[in-house]
């Protein structure tokens, strides 16, 4: 790694040396969390956990496919967020242990509201952290699809152990064919962790795309996670309970189906919004034109080009909502991205010329 | 049917080339609304007092204009001024809804080179001013053609030579003239430099015509604009001849060390203007001699004018 690359990657949390290798505390926490998460799951659920992994990844894969025309993040980052979801599950396990020491009864009403609140917040925390960390740079080049995808992946990773444990002890449950993580129990639908967090990420992404600093958008940003907490609480509260309060919960949440409809609506809005931005923000400037494929080996390079180009579109779209110095700084950033696309074209035409010469 | 009047929105009217651009737009039948920072009496246009950083008060004016000519720019190299330049341009672009947008960039974005400089060549971002111009070119390029917007044209002129009020406001000719008046020695690092270093230039009246000619362009992008090329030596000798000064040349590969010595940029910046000249049918009319004579006359008149 070059000095420059090292400088860029210098972690903010300090480092620790293990076996001659320098590791950042963040990476150490990440791997410890992943080990705890997967180790715990395999220890307690064995093969059931591995089966659950397939269903969980199926959901994430669906979102990856749906957002393939609009996202700017690679699969490596999606995988990382899936693992971060598992890591925060470990944190939640600790939080639950502390909470249980204060409120030992598993049926306590406070538990049915506190746990969903903490779980939904923790699942979204890695996404919120990344957005906060990139608040002057990378976050501006992200579309709503990116945020929704990262959140769904984080939720998927988080829910993996719980789903595996549930199915091990309760056997298989009915699910929607196209959403294998859902559980249908009579009239009630439980959409599951990945959908809850996906919904929270979608509204957050939409709010950041359509005007990061508009007051009304704070409501939009928070609406997804609020509904997720509410629906999650409905799910937890309704277990082994009957009566007016459960009926009221069921009525307001539509027996859990409203969360699903909201999620589907959010996905449609996210993808159409992002497509609108990607297609409508940038002009046909030469450096922004998509290079022509001359073979399959070019696919990866063109895909990379497309991701960067989309990032530029999101950045320039969001730049409209800020003013003064902040806007100028975003345009400076956009200019740097634009130059990298121009360099890509120069290299591309150079290599195309080379391949023609070789023939 | 009555011909409809075309509306133009102009920024930078009080700048070096602004009055000439305004005169040319008026001459071609445009009704011009000019944005100025401080109240001023400017004949030939409707004056709008406002700040580029707060485009809301003049947004409607920009939106309804058939053409937008954005010349206003910060000449300072400070970070705040550069960011201000970018934000100001963004404010105008934000409200650009239709028609052509002509923005002023700079020929100094091109690196010094022995060959003629074409628009597609890599740029040299040597300072904050150039970075601001590159960013403005970028944002205009990205915004052009989106929705009902017309082409976004960026003009990269050679050094301005003019005799207007702002002729000495950080302009090359004013700086050289001042040195010539003190009979400075101009330092060149080589004989070859003495014979070849210099820059493309354009008279402000020619630039006014170029801006108006640019309004017919259909293809967005950057265009080099110049009225000619002069070596530094030719320019200094012309000033000597017109003003009766006695500036000299010294060839020595060292930085200026003695008082009275002065080094101009040791490079050749010859802009290839074929793309613009052909597309806009632009023919410059002002010669170097004429421009220097006008400048010297303006300076001498100002010198005898009682304060």
A51 pLDDT above the threshold of 80? no
Task: Report the alpha-carbon angle B84-B87-B92, nearest 5.
Answer: 125
Phi, psi of B154, deg, nearest 5: -110, 125
Q: Provide, rounded to the nearest whole percent, the portion of chain B with pLDDT above 90.
A: 71
Residue A86 belongs to a domain: yes
At A324 the pLDDT is: 86
A8 pLDDT above the threshold of 60? no
CB contacts, 8 Å: B82 with chain A: 328
Alpha carbon separation from A177 to A62, A174, B186 (Å, rounded): 12, 9, 83
Query: DSSP per residue over B5-47, as a string?
Result: PEEEEEE-TTSSSHHHHHHHHHHTTEEEEEEESS----TTEEE
Size of interface A-B (CB pairs under 8 A): 68
Cite the beta strand spans of chain A per DSSP E: 15-18, 21-24, 174-176, 179-185, 188-190
Q: Whole-number mean pLDDT of chain B?
A: 91
Question: In the structure, what pLDDT confidence band is assigned to residue A107 with cuts at 50, 70 and 90?
Answer: confident
CA distance A349 to A344: 9
Question: In the structure, what pLDDT confidence band is assigned to residue A201 with cuts at 50, 70 and 90?
Answer: very high
Residue A145 belongs to a domain: yes
- Whole domain around residue A165: which residue ranges? 18-280
Residue A6 belongs to a domain: no
Suggest the residue from B52, B122, B138, B144 to mutate for an interface test with chain A (most A CBs closer than 10 A): B138
The answer to whether the CB atoms of A328 and B87 lie below 8 A apart is yes
CA diameter of chain B? 71
Q: Report pLDDT digits (tens) over A241-273.
A: 778 888 998 999 999 999 999 999 999 999 999
Q: Report pLDDT digits (tens) over B118-157.
A: 998 888 888 888 899 999 999 999 899 888 899 999 999 9
At B3 the pLDDT is: 56
**Strand A179-185 relative to strand A188-190, pairing:** antiparallel
CA distance B229 to B159: 10
3-state SS, residue B126: coil
At A28 the pLDDT is: 84
What is the average per-residue pLDDT within A34-54? 80
How far apart are the CA of B154 and the nearest CA of chain A, in angstroms?
A: 13
Q: Is B121 on the interface with A (CB under 8 A)?
A: no
Same domain for A276 and A311?
A: no
Same domain for A36 and A151?
A: yes
User: Which chain A residue lies closest to B137 (C-alpha atoms)?
Assistant: A335
The answer to whether the CB atoms of A335 and B87 lie below 8 A apart is no
The answer to whether the CB atoms of B141 and A320 lie below 8 A apart is no
Q: Which of B80, B131, B142 sits opposite A285 (nearest CB)?
A: B142
CA distance B134 to B103: 11
B51 pLDDT above the threshold of 80? yes
A15 pLDDT above the threshold of 90? no
Q: Report pLDDT digits (tens) over A119-134.
A: 999 999 999 999 999 9
Same domain for A154 and A292?
A: no
Q: Which of B86, B94, B146 sits opposite A332 (nearest CB)?
A: B86
Same domain for A94 and A33?
A: yes
Suggest the residue from B54, B73, B90 to mutate for an interface test with chain A (most A CBs closer than 10 A): B90
CA distance B185 to B198: 16
Alpha carbon separation from B49 to B37, B103, B142, B270 (Å, rounded): 5, 20, 28, 38
Same domain for A121 and A169?
A: yes
CA distance A31 to A87: 8
The residue count of chain A comes to 359
Q: Is B138 on the interface with A (CB under 8 A)?
A: yes
CA distance A233 to A275: 34
At B154 the pLDDT is: 96
CA distance A6 to A8: 5
At B168 the pLDDT is: 87
B81 pLDDT above the threshold of 70? yes
Q: Report residue A153 as tokens.
A: 């992946």
> Which residues between 145 and 164 in chain B have a beta carbon less than 8 angstroms from any beta carbon of chain A?
145-147, 152
Query: DSSP per residue over A59-122, as a string?
Result: HHHHHHHHTTTT----HHHHHHHHHHHHHHHHHHHHHHHHHHHH---TT-HHHHHHHHHHHHHH
Number of domains composing chain A: 2
How far apart are the CA of B9 and the nearest CA of chain A, in angstroms?
A: 21
Residue A82 belongs to a domain: yes
Q: Is B65 on the interface with A (CB under 8 A)?
A: no
Same domain for A181 and A320?
A: no
CA distance B256 to B250: 10
Q: Could you state, in order of their start, the residue ranges of all structural domains in chain B?
A: 7-161+202-227+270-285
CA distance A126 to A322: 25
Question: In the structure, what pLDDT confidence band is assigned to residue B307 with cuts at 50, 70 and 90?
Answer: very low
Residue pair A253/A234 in contact by the 8 Å Cβ criterion:
yes
The answer to whether the CB atoms of B142 and A334 lie below 8 A apart is yes
Residue A9 belongs to a domain: no
A140 pLDDT above the threshold of 80? yes
Q: Please name the residues in contact with B217: beta carbons below 8 A apart, sequence gap of 6 or more.
A: B100, B151, B153, B223, B279, B280
Same domain for A218 and A348?
A: no
The answer to whether the CB atoms of B134 and A334 lie below 8 A apart is no
Same domain for A252 and A267?
A: yes
Q: Report residue B86 as tokens.
A: 């970018």
At A240 the pLDDT is: 72
CA distance A284 to B291: 39
Residue A351 belongs to a domain: yes
Q: Report residue A29 as tokens.
A: 């926490």
Residue pair A343/A308 in contact by the 8 Å Cβ criterion:
no
At A11 the pLDDT is: 45
Question: In the structure, what pLDDT confidence band is assigned to residue A5 with cuts at 50, 70 and 90?
Answer: very low
User: Whose structure tokens read 């950045």?
Assistant: A315
Q: What does R_g of chain B's alpha carbons equal in angstroms? A: 20
Question: In the structure, what pLDDT confidence band is assigned to residue A45 with cuts at 50, 70 and 90?
Answer: confident
Centroid of chain to Cα B290:
18
A229 pLDDT above the threshold of 80? yes
Question: What's domain B7-161+202-227+270-285's architecture?
Answer: 3-Layer(aba) Sandwich (3.40)
At A111 the pLDDT is: 86
What is the average per-residue pLDDT within B211-233? 95
Phi, psi of B153, deg, nearest 5: -105, 130
Suggest the residue from A283, A315, A317 to mutate for an interface test with chain B (most B CBs closer than 10 A): A283
Suggest the residue from A285, A333, A340 to mutate for an interface test with chain B (most B CBs closer than 10 A): A285
Same domain for A137 and A195?
A: yes
A288 pLDDT above the threshold of 90? no
Q: Report pLDDT digits (tens) over A303-340.
A: 999 999 999 999 999 998 888 889 999 999 999 999 99
Residues of chain B by 3-state class (helix, strand, coil), percent to 5: 40, 25, 40
Same domain for A129 and A82?
A: yes
Q: Report pLDDT digits (tens) over B167-183.
A: 888 889 999 999 999 98
- Enter the ipTM: 0.84
Q: What does R_g of chain A's alpha carbons equal in angstroms? A: 22
CA distance A252 to A308: 42
User: Whose structure tokens read 């929270």?
Assistant: A200
Q: Please name the residues in contact with A249: beta carbons below 8 A apart, sequence gap of 6 or more.
A: A233, A234, A237, A238
3-state SS, residue B258: coil
- Measured from the Cβ of residue B183, the count of other Cβ atoms closer than 10 Å reads 12
Domain end (from A257, A280, A303): A280
What is the average per-residue pLDDT within B240-244? 94
Q: Is A136 exposed, middle or buried (CB count within 10 Å of its CB: 0-12, 13-18, 19+)?
A: exposed
Domain end (from A239, A254, A280): A280
At A356 the pLDDT is: 41
The answer to whether the CB atoms of A283 and B53 lie below 8 A apart is no
Q: Report residue A31 as tokens.
A: 């791997």
DSSP label of B2 = P
> Which residues between 166 and 225 in chain B have a beta carbon less than 8 angstroms from any beta carbon of chain A?
220
CB contacts, 8 Å: A288 with chain B: 142
3-state SS, residue A201: helix
Q: Is B104 on the interface with A (CB under 8 A)?
A: no
Q: Report pLDDT digits (tens) over A336-358.
A: 999 999 888 887 776 554 444 44
The answer to whether the CB atoms of A329 and B83 lie below 8 A apart is yes
Residue pair B69/B17 in contact by the 8 Å Cβ criterion:
no
CA distance A78 to B153: 41
Q: Which of B87, B142, B144 sits opposite A327 (nearest CB)?
A: B87
Residue pair A141/A337 in contact by the 8 Å Cβ criterion:
yes
Domain end (from A249, A280, A311): A280
Same domain for A97 and A205?
A: yes
How far apart are the CA of B76 and the nearest CA of chain A, in angstroms?
A: 16
**B215 closest CA partner among B86, B2, B24, B63:** B24
The residue count of chain B comes to 307
């Amino acid at each position: 790694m070059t000095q420059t690359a090292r400088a860029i990657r210098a972690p903010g949390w300090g480092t620790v040396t293990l076996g001659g290798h320098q590791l950042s505390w963040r990476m150490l926490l990440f791997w410890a969390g992943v080990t705890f998460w997967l180790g715990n799951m395999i220890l307690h659920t064995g093969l059931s956990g591995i089966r659950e992994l397939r269903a969980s990844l199926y959901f994430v894969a669906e979102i990856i496919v749906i957002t393939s025309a609009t996202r700017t993040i690679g699969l490596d980052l999606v995988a990382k967020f899936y693992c971060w979801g598992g890591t925060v599950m470990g944190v939640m396990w600790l939080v639950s242990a502390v909470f249980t020491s204060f409120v030992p009864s598993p049926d306590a009403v406070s538990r049915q509201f506190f746990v969903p609140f903490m779980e939904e917040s923790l699942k979204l925390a890695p996404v919120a952290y990344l957005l906060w960390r990139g608040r002057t740079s990378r976050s501006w080049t992200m579309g709503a699809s990116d945020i929704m995808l990262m959140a769904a992946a984080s939720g998927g990773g988080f829910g993996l152990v719980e789903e595996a444990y549930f199915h091990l002890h309760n056997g298989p449950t009915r699910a929607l064919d196209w959403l294998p993580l859902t559980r249908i129990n009579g009239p009630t639908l439980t959409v599951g962790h990945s959908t809850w967090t996906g919904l929270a990420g979608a509204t957050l992404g939409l709010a950041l795309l359509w005007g990061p600093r508009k007051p009304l958008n704070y409501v939009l940003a928070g609406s997804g996670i609020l509904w997720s907490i509410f629906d999650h609480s409905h799910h937890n509260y309704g277990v082994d309970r009957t009566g007016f309060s459960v009926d009221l919960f069921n009525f307001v949440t539509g027996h859990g189906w409203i969360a699903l409809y909201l999620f589907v609506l959010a996905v449609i809005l996210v993808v159409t919004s992002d497509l609108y931005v990607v297609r409508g923000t940038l002009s046909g400037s030469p450096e922004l034109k998509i290079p022509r494929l001359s073979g399959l080996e070019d696919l990866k390079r063109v895909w990379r080009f497309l991701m960067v180009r989309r990032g530029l579109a999101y950045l320039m779209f969001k730049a409209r909502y800020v003013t003064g110095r902040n806007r100028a700084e975003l345009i400076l950033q956009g200019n740097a991205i634009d130059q990298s696309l121009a360099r890509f074209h120069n290299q591309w035409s150079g290599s195309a010329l080379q391949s023609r010469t070789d023939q | 049917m009555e011909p409809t009047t075309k509306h133009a929105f102009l920024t930078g009217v009080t700048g070096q080339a602004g009055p000439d651009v305004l005169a040319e737009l008026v001459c071609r039948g445009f009704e011009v609304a000019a944005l100025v920072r401080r109240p001023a009496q400017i004949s030939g246009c409707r004056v709008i007092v406002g700040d580029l950083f707060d485009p809301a008060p003049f947004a409607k004016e920009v939106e309804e204009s058939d053409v937008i000519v954005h010349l206003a720019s910060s000449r300072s190299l400070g970070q705040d001024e550069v960011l201000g330049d970018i934000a100001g341009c963004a404010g105008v672009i934000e409200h650009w809804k239709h028609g052509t947008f002509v923005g002023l960039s700079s020929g100094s974005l091109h690196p010094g080179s022995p060959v003629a400089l074409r628009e597609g060549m890599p740029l040299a971002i040597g300072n904050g001013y150039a970075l601001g111009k590159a960013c403005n070119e970028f944002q205009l390029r990205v915004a052009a053609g989106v929705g009902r917007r017309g082409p976004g044209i960026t003009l990269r002129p050679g050094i301005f030579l003019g005799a207007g009020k702002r002729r000495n406001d950080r302009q090359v000719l004013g700086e050289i003239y001042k040195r010539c008046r003190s009979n400075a020695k101009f330092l060149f690092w080589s004989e070859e430099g003495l014979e070849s270093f210099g820059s493309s230039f354009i008279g402000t009246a020619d630039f006014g015509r170029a801006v108006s000619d640019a309004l017919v362009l259909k293809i967005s992008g950057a265009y080099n604009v110049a009225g000619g090329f002069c070596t530094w030596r030719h320019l200094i000798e012309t000033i000597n001849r017109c003003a009766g000064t006695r500036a000299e040349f010294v060839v020595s590969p060292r930085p200026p060390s003695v008082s009275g010595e002065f080094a101009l940029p040791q490079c050749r910046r010859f802009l290839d203007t074929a793309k613009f000249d052909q597309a806009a049918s632009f023919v410059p009319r002002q010669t170097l001699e004429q421009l220097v004579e006008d400048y010297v006359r303006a300076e001498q008149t100002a010198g005898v004018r009682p304060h």
